[in-house]
Amino acid sequence: MLPGVGHCRGGVGPDQADFMSPIVSWVEDGVAPERITVSAVRDGMVTMTRPICSHPQVAVYSGQGDTNEEANFECAAP
């Protein structure tokens, strides 16, 4: 599930991600992903990135920087 995204697509949240690379790394190298970056692309431009965290963690804004940039979020227990 992607926060802010409708059932299949649409909504205000980011809905573009490379899920395959982290899965391949997990299967082939034994490295489970701690987070995956998802992007919102509007008119060909990335307008927002956010982390999708491993369950049960959630993305929490660090309190500093642009809220549209994934780097300004941490994965933390809810």
Could you tell me what percent of the chain has a pLDDT over 90? 76
* pLDDT tens, position by position, 41-69: 989 999 999 999 998 999 999 999 999 99
pTM surpassing 0.85?
no
Q: What is the pLDDT of residue 59?
A: 94
Report, in this order, helix, strand and coil percent for the chain, each rounded to 5: 15, 35, 50
Strand locations in the chain (E): 16-17, 35-42, 45-53, 58-61, 73-76
Task: Check pLDDT > 80 for residue 9.
Answer: no
